[in-house]
Chains A and B, each alone.
Chain A
Amino acid sequence: MALGELLQRLTRFDRYLILCLSLLVGVSFLLPFGRQAGARLIVEADNRTVFSAPLDTPRQFAVEGPLGMTRMEVRNGAVRVLHSPCPQKICIGLGEARRAGDLLACVPNRIVVRIEGDVEGAAYDLLSR
């Protein structure tokens, strides 16, 4: 069925309405709803938590992985990977992680950096559904 034939089933108002609502939906993708700024970063190497620090104090640190040391930096409430021994440096390309739920991962070196929100979000021991 031709697209034009389907379009003829819409009134002029319908088309404007859909256009406006599409824009609205598009805008809603840009808003980081409810993503509060992260409070702590947690570094896991080989599924074990090896390092944890608040995001509000600037620092540099390094974590050992199977390939070597991955250097990271905390600055302006965000964490990023400075240097990594992995071949493709994707983890450096991921840029900064600053919001609760953000994730940086260096898969070859088996290092995952998670950002956690404030204490309220961590109050749950377990969520089952």
Chain B
Amino acid sequence: MTSSAVDPVQLEQVRQRVFLALFIALAVTLNAVEYLLPSPLPWFRFGLANILTVTALYLYGSRAAWTVALSRILIGSLLLGTLFSPGFLLSLSGGLLATLLMTSSFQLLGSRIGPVGVSVLGALGHAGGQLLIAWLLIVQHPSIWLMLPFFLLFSLISGMINGLAADMLLDFLLKHEAFARHKTTREFPSQTSGSDVT
């Protein structure tokens, strides 16, 4: 390898591009696997792909999160054959609101909000966005709001689990030297409080 001759900024850009591509591929895979799992209702999905969006957000910032989220929705629905179907519209609206909430909370609150908080906001945003569009475009019947509490509860729990998974993934990735530059950009509340205890 002749990487030593390469400009470090350029190397970092290439690295980011490669890792984002990997993240998108993983997110699409998780999305497809999740689609195969039996679920009680069409909307009760775990949203495992969001783990990668949160991870990209914390590693590379808002732009990267948008890239992963939008690419995942487009490629995922192309793969599953739901592109431009009503289900795609729901998925897109949920994804847009979720990513909007996640990136803006990340930018507003910085290191005060952790991956778990971001993920929970994203999950609830996804649920809210989906139900809103479903209500506006597809089933204009008030009984759809009967589902809302159960839907929100499910999202809250899945959001927490996804957030914890993203946090663990970040811990794991940051140990690798390819991500060494990012160590300074992310503060570890868990590490600081952990060192106080031990």
Seen from chain A, the residues whose Cβ lies within 8 Å of a Cβ on chain B are 6, 8-14, 17-18, 21-22, 24-25, 28-29, 31, 33-36, 101, 121
Contacts and interface: CB of A to CB of B under 8 A. Distances in A.
A10 B116 CA distance: 6
B193 interface: yes
Contact of A13 (B112, B163, B164): B112
Interface stretch (B44-52, B70-78, B145-153): B145-153
A5 to B, nearest CB: 9
Interface string B7-38: 00000000000000000000000000000000
Interface string B180-192: 0000000001100
Contacts of A13: 109, 112-114, 117
Contacts of B120: 14, 17-18, 21
24 contacts: A8-B190, A8-B194, A9-B116, A9-B167, A10-B189, A11-B189, A12-B189, A13-B109, A14-B114, A14-B116, A14-B117, A14-B120, A14-B163, A17-B113, A18-B116, A18-B120, A18-B156, A21-B156, A24-B152, A28-B152, A31-B149, A34-B142, A34-B145, A34-B146
Chain B interface SS verdict (over half) = helix
B134 interface: no
Interface in B124-161: 124, 141-146, 148-149, 152-153, 156, 160
A13 B114 CA distance: 8
Nearest first, the 10 A-B pairs at minimum CB distance are A34-B142, A33-B145, A14-B117, A11-B114, A29-B149, A34-B145, A28-B149, A11-B189, A8-B190, A25-B152
B102 interface: no
A100 B156 CA distance: 28
B113 A14 contact: yes
Given A11-B189, A12-B112, A34-B145, 12 more contacts: A8-B193, A10-B117, A12-B189, A14-B116, A14-B120, A17-B117, A17-B121, A18-B120, A18-B156, A25-B149, A25-B152, A34-B146
Chain A interface SS verdict (over half) = helix
B112 A11 contact: yes
A35 B146 contact: yes
A9 B164 contact: yes
Contacts of A14: 113-114, 116-117, 120, 163
Contacts of B160: 18
Given A33-B146, A34-B145, A11 B117 contact: yes
Contact of B114 (A10, A36, A101, A121): A10
Contacts of A17: 113, 117, 120-121
B154 to A, nearest CB: 10
B71 to A, nearest CB: 27
B110 to A, nearest CB: 10
Which of A8, A10, A101 has the most chain B CB atoms inside 10 A of its CB?
A: A10
Nearest to B191: A8
